[in-house]
Structure 1
């Protein structure tokens, strides 16, 4: 056997088995055009040499690659980590492999990732788009006939399946709970409105305040990046207001972590 099985080629297998490379390819692709005896010789040669067939080459010859992709804006976000893990588990049940792509909420990275996946001929993509400005990237997938489904976020003008939570209802219920606890000055830390889930959570926040007859105070809304650093900075702004909020609704868990750290840095506790 060679020192490195990755160096073994289909020609090496064919030579050892005494057949043509085409015959080896037929055995690998489970063609019925190979006799049982020839198949056994080829399989024995594959085993002896430690040959590993290229999944990509096999896929291209069969017009499929057996590969899916999951694109998320922040793989460090526990929510997206769980999404990726679940998607990979389900894909494996159907003999698919998953390529994970983290765009870091960067539109340029998202564009490049999508171009690469089109070139690799993935059979489908589950994507949490960066923002509404991802529309040209999604339109390109559609133009090339790559099936895709949106996760957590939608983009206006893109007609496709989407798996999303009830961001409006969830946010409204959370703020209603704070109101029931007696809070009247409730802050909101949220990312920009160009992300659909952020818009919807702001909508839920505002709906709960209106329903309770509470004013919508722009000073209580802090836009920021959806990460711990953004949460820390935004909470600092809220704490610096003339009348501090008694409770704050954060757009996601990572923002909440940063916000809590800012509260403690200011000498307070959560809850206080």
Structure 2
């Protein structure tokens, strides 16, 4: 039979302090003497006391919990973002719950409903963007939320923190052009995703600036599911499609491209130069150091949390936000590219 849950009353009886004193000591309130706080906290730990967060949220109106909803937690890009949000949230005594959508609209709706059923104070979400319906639903609930990594440019009601995707696409393509590549394969994400659309705009802008015609044959969407990129690269090589540079929507697609090119007997960067997006190598070691666009994941994550906390406080005060932030991007050159002149 399970043991009885330890309560504040139990600790008060053992310490001869009032329940209010015990409660404030466990919250580390400074109006309780430090020695008393430590004594009560030590005994509470020995007794196995766990705070009843549900009861606390009912009293305060806050659950001190934030939901983070992302498309694919197996992608290190999202893993790093979640970690940065969690680190920042911890400083404010918030806990996060993470929900994965696989970039599918129905799973996104389920994730939002699950988060709301947990009585979260707010949500940080990277939307699937197959439609706006789920985000409009979230807007109608009145629960504060911030989009991260993607935005709906035509809907100012949705607050966001993104990186400068168009500039990133431009910098990657310009670098390949500067190093002698005229036939640049762009492996993009689905165009209903704002970041994919804006990186494509950057790609086109650089080609136009250098007088290189846009070849639709060199713009492909392998999808965000692993293995699709490998099949596409094999097909392009077998069909004899001419390209010497590759700009990939993200680092995972770029690494898959390198893997398949090498498996087919080609060298990177000897035969092909490859650039990714997300700069995962800054956090995770890889035997294939990748030239990539850095999108300041830590800055995006911290700003998204700061804005969400501000919105949580503002919503309690009957105020509204209006936050739209674009974080700068930059090129980081590593071993997957070389000058082909």
Same fold, TM-score > 0.5, yes or no: yes
| 2:150 counterpart of 1:142 | no
In structure 2, the partner of 1:8 is: 5
In structure 2, the partner of 1:126 is: 124
State the Cα distance separating 1:173 from its structure 2 match. 1.1
Is the contact between residue 88 and residue 98 of structure 1 (CA under 8 Å) also seen in structure 2?
A: yes
**Number of residues of Structure 1 aligned to a counterpart in Structure 2:** 260
Structure 1 unaligned residues grouped into runs of 5+? 32-38
In structure 2, the partner of 1:183 is: 181
Higher gyration radius (CA): 1
Is the contact between residue 118 and residue 141 of structure 1 (CA under 8 Å) also seen in structure 2?
A: no
State the Cα distance separating 1:66 from its structure 2 match. 0.6
In structure 1, the partner of 2:267 is: 269
Matched ranges for 1:89-238 at <5 A? 89-133=87-131, 135-155=132-152, 156-157=154-155, 159-238=157-236
Q: Single out whichever of 223-232 and 113-122 deviates more from structure 2.
A: 223-232
Deviations 1:143-188 (A, max 9, x none): 1111111111012436232111111111111111111111111111
Distance in 2, matches of 1:76 and 1:48, equals: 38
Greater fraction of residues in helix: 1
Aligned alpha-carbon RMSD (Å): 3.1
Is the contact between residue 67 and residue 99 of structure 2 (CA under 8 Å) also seen in structure 1?
A: yes
Structure 2 unaligned residues grouped into runs of 5+? 28-35, 272-341
Distance in 2, matches of 1:191 and 1:169, equals: 16
Summarize the Cα distance change of 1:115–1:212 in structure 2 as closer, same or farther, 3 Å threshold: same
Distance in 1, matches of 2:171 and 2:256, equals: 23
Is the contact between residue 71 and residue 100 of structure 2 (CA under 8 Å) also seen in structure 1?
A: yes
Matched ranges for 1:26-37 at <5 A? 28=23
Higher RCO by CA contacts (8 Å cutoff, separation 6 or greater): 2
Per the normalisation by structure 1, the TM-score is 0.83
Distance in 1, matches of 2:130 and 2:104, equals: 12
Distance in 2, matches of 1:57 and 1:99, equals: 19
Q: Secondary structure at the match of 1:98?
A: strand
Per the normalisation by structure 2, the TM-score is 0.68
Q: Secondary structure at the match of 1:100?
A: strand
Summarize the Cα distance change of 1:102–1:29 in structure 2 as closer, same or farther, 3 Å threshold: farther
